[in-house]
């Protein structure tokens, strides 16, 4: 039921409007500072080269000089480290999830009027960019699949689980890690469109497509090999295959 306004007494002056310019300026500054902090924190978390660090610590090797040269879980696994491969995948997922969770907290604390999902989306994008272009490895990182799964596991958990289900199904049927990664990434925005409830600001939706397209674009060499019929299947030894990164 809509509330009705009480009539103003005759001759009464309407109360002056609040200083929108000043308030708006302060809000914009809060949001700007919060956004910059989210960008920095999420990027630095995403840029932690988990696979590189683990292989260095436990095998005293540079994973970039082994197999495909990729820092992701698949190359770590193929290099002979099953446990390290699983740990790399888990670490990449956790750093993505942590970045989005912390980004949301920063947004709520520093800019309460900012939309939570926008802050989470900003953190998601920067975390994946950090993984793909890590400052610690001269901006040559992985492909963002595990980290992408991690960021959306917080921002849109049901959709992320559906997308990883597509990944698992395609991998089971074809044993192509790259194809499973591409189709899993491509399916996520559509699952999010159907399953995410509540407010869905345009930036939140745009980031879903941007991250998915980035992951697919990072698989351009795999796409060429898939089309040429030269891509290796999971479990086969190949110096060319590059999977989850």
**Two structure tokens written together for 126:** 């920067």
Give the model's pLDDT for residue 244: 58
Give the model's pLDDT for residue 243: 53
Asked if the structure places residue 50 within a domain, the reply is: yes
Asked if the structure places residue 5 within a domain, the reply is: no
CA–CA distance, 128 with 96 (Å, rounded to integer):
7
Q: What percent of the chain has pLDDT over 70?
A: 85
Give the model's pLDDT for residue 192: 96
Asked if the structure places residue 6 within a domain, the reply is: no
CA–CA distance, 28 with 119 (Å, rounded to integer):
14
**Could you give phi then psi for residue 87, rounded to 5 degrees?**
-65, -35
Asked if the structure places residue 238 within a domain, the reply is: no
Give the model's pLDDT for residue 237: 54
Asked if the structure places residue 47 within a domain, the reply is: yes
Give the model's pLDDT for residue 27: 52
Give the model's pLDDT for residue 234: 84
> How many domains in the chain?
1
The gap between the terminal CA atoms of the chain, to the nearest Å, is 54
Asked if the structure places residue 237 within a domain, the reply is: no
- Exposed e or buried b per residue across 198-229, where buried means at least 16 C-beta atoms within 10 angstroms of its C-beta: eeeeebbbebbebbbebbbebbeebeebbeee
What is the domain range of residue 53?
27-228
Residue 175: CB atoms within 10 A of its CB come to 14
Give the model's pLDDT for residue 245: 58
Q: Which residue stretches of the chain have pLDDT < 50? A: 1-26, 238-242
Give the model's pLDDT for residue 66: 86
Give the model's pLDDT for residue 236: 67
Asked if the structure places residue 122 within a domain, the reply is: yes
Asked if the structure places residue 1 within a domain, the reply is: no
């Amino acid at each position: 039921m809509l509330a009705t306004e009480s009539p103003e007494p005759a001759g009464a002056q309407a109360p002056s409007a609040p200083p929108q310019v000043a308030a708006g300026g302060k809000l914009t500054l809060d949001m700007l500072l919060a956004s910059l902090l989210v960008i920095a924190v999420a990027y630095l978390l995403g840029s932690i080269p988990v696979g590189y660090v683990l292989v260095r610590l436990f095998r005293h090797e540079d994973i970039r000089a082994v197999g495909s040269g990729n820092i992701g879980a698949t190359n770590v696994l193929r290099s002979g480290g099953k446990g390290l491969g699983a740990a790399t995948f888990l670490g990449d997922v956790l750093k993505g999830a942590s970045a989005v969770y912390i980004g949301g907290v920063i947004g709520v604390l520093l800019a309460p009027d900012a939309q939570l999902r926008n802050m989470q989306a900003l953190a998601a994008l920067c975390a994946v960019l950090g993984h793909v272009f890590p400052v610690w490895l001269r901006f040559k990182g992985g492909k963002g699949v595990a980290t992408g799964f991690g960021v959306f596991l917080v921002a849109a958990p049901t959709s992320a689980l559906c997308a990883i289900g597509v990944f698992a199904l395609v991998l089971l049927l074809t044993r192509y890690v790259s194809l499973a990664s591409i189709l899993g990434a491509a399916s996520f925005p559509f699952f999010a469109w159907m399953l995410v409830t509540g407010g869905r600001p345009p930036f939140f939706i745009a980031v879903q497509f941007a991250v998915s397209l980035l992951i697919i674009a990072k698989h351009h060499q795999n796409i060429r090999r898939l089309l040429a019929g030269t891509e290796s299947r999971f479990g086969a030894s190949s110096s060319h295959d590059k999977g989850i990164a």
